[in-house]
Chains A and B, each alone.
Chain A
Amino acid sequence: MKIADKKNKILEFLKTSTIDQHTKTMVETLLPVMKEAQVDDLFDTFAEEKSALEKNSQKRQRVELKYKIMAEKLAQIEINKFKK
């Protein structure tokens, strides 16, 4: 990937990154003049963050679904018992 493309991608990553606003501002401001090695570091950092956050979000969705199903089943069992 060309350095200009990486810079554009970093700006895209910033929109969803969870780093604080001050650091986002610093990155946005300095990005145009950063050396290639620093752009590479930032690109890797944000790509890793995005991938890890996506995995974490999927795990959370799975846990939510798992407990939702369990809660529904548990409620049904208890109601059935109560009805007897």
Chain B
Amino acid sequence: MFGSEDIAKIGEKAKGFFGNSKDLLAKFIPSLTEAFGEAWKAKWGEKWKVFSGKFKEEWGRLGKEKEEISQGAQAAATKTTEQTMASATTAVKLDETKVEKGSADSYKEALATGVASLASLSQKQQVFANKGLDKLSKAVKEGKTDVLDFDEFKAVAATAISTLKALKIKYPDKDKLKTALEQISKASESSKYPIAKLLQTSVLKVLKPDITVLDILNPLNSSYLDFFKKFGISGVSELSELKDTMSLLKEKEITADDKAKVVAAYKKYIIPNTTKSDVVRVVDFVQKLVLEKPASLTIDQLAELVSLVDVKDLDRMIAILTGKIGEAKA
């Protein structure tokens, strides 16, 4: 009734089944029934049940073993990352009962980026950054405006820019970056550093370094002037010229020539690797902030600014802030 071709066909079906599925009853029996009619099902049913039961048992045991291997690796890797994050997690701990898991994960990933950025600074800079972050925290919680000193400012700014840079690389699309920042911001409401509050002008002003022209001219301390030189500024007179150029943005009715001067200054000293059209957008953005003096930066604005600036310029700023480069390179 059945020739060698039929047997080969069954063998092929068996091979096909084992290659694609683990459920004998669900896959193999219907195909046999389809090929050879209902009589096969009645004749083979019980035997295949026993056979498939044994197979499922062994397969299930191996599946469980695989699951246990994953769980073990998961637990160990989580423990190690938590150890690395320990001090920062304590400082910016989330109240996880108040945030959704997805938001909490995004926040932790951003925090990890921040921790990695902070830890990449020298020991001395880390001390400055921690002092600066403490002042920021007080500004958020108690409304204190204890302005960061210059070293604290540089360390905090480097950490913040490194974190934003990592997010920009992870989310090259502006809308996705904005969504990520919004999610992180929402989760951070339950932490010591709520991002929305950090972006308030009243808090951001503690970041403004307390430097006067006398500090820069001080013949006994060249560190301020040395810092500005890293942006490619030759000396005090060029710095003074740059300050005057930047002040042009305060004019409500800025002329096209004056605006072109500001754009050129930004392109030359601050963001040399950013495209000209994006530099114009950055200048428009800064001008708006200067003129409107908003009570707070929005997440949308932060995402806009970060997406406009070229990653190479963020790297350059970090290198300047951390003293990793002597003279700025465009």
Per-residue contact bits, chain B 11-30, to A (CB 8 Å; 1 contact, 0 not): 10011011000001000100
- The answer to whether A60 touches B62 (Cβ under 8 A) is yes
How far is B106's CA from A22's CA once the two chains are assembled, in angstroms?
8
Q: Which of A6-38 contact B (CB under 8 A)?
A: 17-20, 22-23, 25-27, 29-30, 32-35, 38
- The answer to whether A33 touches B116 (Cβ under 8 A) is yes
B76 contacts the other chain (Cβ, under 8 Å)?
A: yes
B277 contacts the other chain (Cβ, under 8 Å)?
A: no
Selected from B17, B55, B73, the residue in CB contact (under 8 A) with A46 is B73
With a cutoff of 8 Å between Cβ atoms, the chain B residues found around residue A27 in the complex are: 77, 80-81
- The answer to whether A83 touches B84 (Cβ under 8 A) is no
**Given A17-B73, A34-B80, A67-B18: A29 in contact with B112 (beta carbons within 8 A):** yes
A5 contacts the other chain (Cβ, under 8 Å)?
A: no
- The answer to whether A33 touches B115 (Cβ under 8 A) is yes
In angstroms, how far is the closest chain A Cβ from the Cβ of B110? Answer: 9
With a cutoff of 8 Å between Cβ atoms, the chain B residues found around residue A29 in the complex are: 109, 112-113, 115-116, 166
Per-residue contact bits, chain A 67-82, to B (CB 8 Å; 1 contact, 0 not): 1101110111011001
How far is B47's CA from A78's CA once the two chains are assembled, in angstroms?
10
Majority DSSP secondary structure for residues of A touching B: helix
- The answer to whether B108 touches A22 (Cβ under 8 A) is yes
With a cutoff of 8 Å between Cβ atoms, the chain A residues found around residue B83 in the complex are: 38
- The answer to whether A79 touches B10 (Cβ under 8 A) is yes
With a cutoff of 8 Å between Cβ atoms, the chain B residues found around residue A70 in the complex are: 51
How far is B118's CA from A33's CA once the two chains are assembled, in angstroms?
9
- The answer to whether B72 touches A49 (Cβ under 8 A) is yes
Selected from B6, B59, B119, the residue in CB contact (under 8 A) with A79 is B6
How far is B14's CA from A46's CA once the two chains are assembled, in angstroms?
36
Instruction: Select from chain B the residue with minimum beta-carbon distance to A44.
Output: B76
- The answer to whether A68 touches B15 (Cβ under 8 A) is yes
In angstroms, how far is the closest chain B Cβ from the Cβ of A14? Answer: 9
Interface centre among A20, A52, A53, A71 (most CB of B within 10 A): A71
**Given A33-B115, A71-B14, A83-B2: A78 in contact with B43 (beta carbons within 8 A):** yes
Per-residue contact bits, chain A 31-68, to B (CB 8 Å; 1 contact, 0 not): 01111001001100110110011001001100110011
B330 contacts the other chain (Cβ, under 8 Å)?
A: no
Selected from A30, A42, A59, the residue in CB contact (under 8 A) with B62 is A59
**Given A52-B69, A56-B65: A22 in contact with B59 (beta carbons within 8 A):** no
How far is B72's CA from A18's CA once the two chains are assembled, in angstroms?
10
With a cutoff of 8 Å between Cβ atoms, the chain B residues found around residue A67 in the complex are: 18, 51, 55, 58
**Given A41-B76, A74-B47, A74-B51: A34 in contact with B84 (beta carbons within 8 A):** yes
In angstroms, how far is the closest chain A Cβ from the Cβ of B225? Answer: 32
Instruction: Select from chain B the residue with minimum beta-carbon distance to A40.
Output: B80
Instruction: Select from chain A the residue with minimum beta-carbon distance to B6.
Output: A79
How far is B116's CA from A72's CA once the two chains are assembled, in angstroms?
57
- The answer to whether A71 touches B28 (Cβ under 8 A) is yes
Instruction: Kindly list 15 other residue pairs between chains A and B, CB separation below 8 angstroms, not including A56-B62, A79-B7, A82-B1.
Output: A19-B77, A22-B108, A23-B81, A25-B109, A26-B108, A27-B77, A29-B115, A30-B85, A35-B84, A45-B73, A45-B77, A71-B24, A74-B47, A75-B7, A82-B43
A-B contact pairs, 12 of them (CB 8 A): A17-B73, A19-B70, A22-B105, A29-B109, A29-B116, A30-B85, A42-B77, A48-B73, A53-B69, A70-B51, A79-B2, A82-B43
